[in-house]
Amino acid sequence: MVEAWDMLRQLVASSVLPWCIIGDFNDLMTTNKKEGGQRYPRALLNGFSEAISDCDLVDLRYKGDKFTWEHFRGTDKWVVQWLDRGFANKKWIDLFQSAVVQVHEVSTSDHMPLCLQLNRRVYVPKGRRF
């Protein structure tokens, strides 16, 4: 995972533009983002948290389930984690203040898909077209 964290740091250092990143980070920042299974290594928690902090990224707002990945459903080995996330820098958040990441339910994958909603308002034109 260290290589991925370093790559994230390099991406941030290469641009001053507003940006956001969404996907399966396959890592946790805190233990309360996991239920079941074996204990998550503290070094991995700290490493991912430090990388996100070093990049000045913050979690986007979410709607839906707080866990985005599960394994061994219906067994005593069942585990759920929040692995799929969205982060952005302050410049991006200032541009898209109402952005929300919607976590969708799906039964065909162990990951739940994420949908980034940039604007919750629907534009309805008023009056004539021209």
How many residues are given for the chain? Answer: 130
pLDDT score for 130: 52
Question: What domains sit in the chain, N to C, each tagged with a CATH number?
Answer: 2-117 (3.60.10.10)
pLDDT score for 55: 94
pLDDT score for 30: 84
Nearest to 86 by CA among 54, 113, 47, 122: 113
pLDDT score for 101: 94
Residue carrying the six token digits 């984690």: 81
pLDDT score for 26: 85
Average confidence (pLDDT) per 10 residues, the chain, 130 residues? 86 91 89 86 87 94 88 85 92 94 83 86 62
